[in-house]
Amino acid sequence: MNPKELQDYKQAGGIAQHIRKYARELIKPDMPLVEIAKKIQQEIEKQGAIEAFPVNLSIDDIAAHYHPTIDDTTKATGLLKVDIGIQINGFIADTALSIDLTSDNQHKELIQASEQALTNALKQLDQNPTLSEIGKTIQQTIEQKGFSPIINLSGHSLAQYTIHAGITIPNYENHNENKLEPGAYAIEPFATTGEGKIYEGPSGNIFAITDHKNTRSPTARKILDYVAEKYEALPFSLREMQEKFGPMARLAIREMENQGILHNFNQLIEKSHKPVSQAEHTFIKMKDNKIIITTKE
């Protein structure tokens, strides 16, 4: 990795740290998700960065990929996962936290399980572990606390303008004996009281351009130009398009999805509909050490 790239990753990571803190202070029980989504995006742009993806605000059994629409009445309740992506010149810091919004703190231990799994996995990196060994650490940490890891969600390598760049870091012992090459990676353990698998539910109101081809609807063309310029192929929200382009945005996005221009990210929902916690940090693996960019070490 060249010094300029590393500098961009560090800058994205620093802003991600700020947004984590901002989100923790901002979010209160029963606050509308759409208000949280808007404020977080505004704060990211105020810091001179752009979202690498719309902030995911996923409640209880929704593990990931939920973002409110403009008229969404969903309020922050239960176990809320806040998954934040920041990019500087396309170099991405990806980080997540879980917030317990119940009055009796009933998800405290479940949140601690994913956080401790992440801490242990990051510590283990200094021993140059295999991917399976990282997964085993995550699995054991979560199971020792009486919960299950979600095995069909995983950490991943990152590349410029690419959130999932090919390498998967498992959340369980998967017998992949490969080791991490130098580069950028996110580790993201998910813990649940349920069976530990997710399925794809309805749209999470998050989309990305997969094939930038011509479309006839004027609103669709405007959206396509705006998104390509601002986000390239990174994900964007229906909400932002509704704010920019009005009520026609929803139909235009549906048309583009049908034309194969856009990918629709579905909500990832725990199969037994039990609550899910998540923790995530991004690190740069150098030849002889690592730099965790989304937290102070």
Token pair 């009520």 in the structure block, residue:
247
Taking the CB of residue 18, how many other CB atoms lie within 10 A of it?
Answer: 16
Active-site residue, selected from the candidate residues 83, 100, 173, 240: 83
Question: Which of 53/245 has CB closer to Mn ion?
Answer: 53
Active-site residue, selected from the candidate residues 61, 72, 188, 270: 188
83 catalytic residue (yes or no): yes
255 catalytic residue (yes or no): no
164 catalytic residue (yes or no): yes
Active-site residue, selected from the candidate residues 133, 156, 173, 270: 156
Question: Which of 186/209 has CB closer to Mn ion?
Answer: 186
280 catalytic residue (yes or no): yes
94 catalytic residue (yes or no): yes
What is the nearest approach in angstroms of Mn ion to the Cβ of residue 90?
A: 16
Question: Which of 198/249 has CB closer to Mn ion?
Answer: 198
How far is 135 from 222, CA to CA, in rounded Å?
43
Question: Which of 83/100 has CB closer to Mn ion?
Answer: 83
Active-site residue, selected from the candidate residues 65, 67, 280, 281: 280
Rule CB under 5 A: which residues touch Mn ion?
83, 94, 96, 186, 188, 280
281 catalytic residue (yes or no): no
Known catalytic residues are 83, 94, 156, 164, 188, 280
